[in-house]
Amino acid sequence: MKLLIDVGNTAVKYAVADEDNIRVVKENDIEWHKITSIICSQVGKGTNLQAINSRAAEFAIPLEQAYVSSARAGVTCAYPAFQNLGIDRWLTVLAAHALYPTQDVIVIDSGTATTVDVVTAQGQHLGGWIVPGLDLMATSVTARAERVFCDDNTPFLAEFAKNTPEAVKNGALAATIGLVQSAKLQLDNKSALVLCTGGYGKLIKQHVDLAVFDDLLVFKGLLVWWKNPQ
């Protein structure tokens, strides 16, 4: 059984994989005696993995850290300096192409930041964008504009606002949805599949046509990365 680890900007997530079956677990519930290997994606600080490294050494479990390359699993990276692409983005692109190999896919990962990446049916990663996540977008406006304010109780809605907190949050959502529409235009494929993930992925999916939500996308990408060394 493999232990999959996603070290993000604000949290560390764990899952176990038996063949292609992936199950999210808490760190305290990991059955270390059943783990045969560890595959890790690290965006956040390495200090988050100190306890895992100790456990891996204690049980003599090999640990592989995923990395970005110019090509892998049938996907060619758009970045000439591929090492500058975030590993989380690379893994979502690998997973997207493995899951939907005959479709152009727009991947939107909405968390602390929102990233958009496009991969064609031919396995060509076209690149993407990084913008502030919904919460960060809202707080950046209120922090810099003196008379603009918001609150935690106002939801993100795809409609015109009738007060300032709504204007801030609904504007953030509208801007994020606009990224997807812009990606479809540049791709020149209005029927491209939109694959949503991340903390706000389910919300984005509700407001985008032909969208799918997959909360396990990074974990699936780790398995694709591990199974396809070339």
Residue among 6, 29, 88, 152 flagged as catalytic: 88
DSSP notation for 97-113? HHH-TTS-EEEEEESSE
Rounded to whole angstroms, how far apart are CA atoms 167 and 47? 39
DSSP notation for 112-123? SEEEEEEE-TTS
Look at residues 182, 89, 94 and name the one whose alpha carbon lies nearest to residue 127.
89
- Note whether 107 and 116 are within 8 A (CB): yes
In total, the chain counts a number of residues equal to 230
Q: Write out the two tokens for 187.
A: 């791709």
Instruction: Mark whether 188 is an active-site residue.
Output: no
Rounded to whole angstroms, how far apart are CA atoms 132 and 200? 12
Residue 37 φ/ψ, nearest 5 degrees: -160, 160
Q: Is the dihedral of CA 123, 128, 130, 134 positive or negative?
A: negative
Q: Write out the two tokens for 143.
A: 């922090």
Tell me which residues are annotated as active site.
88
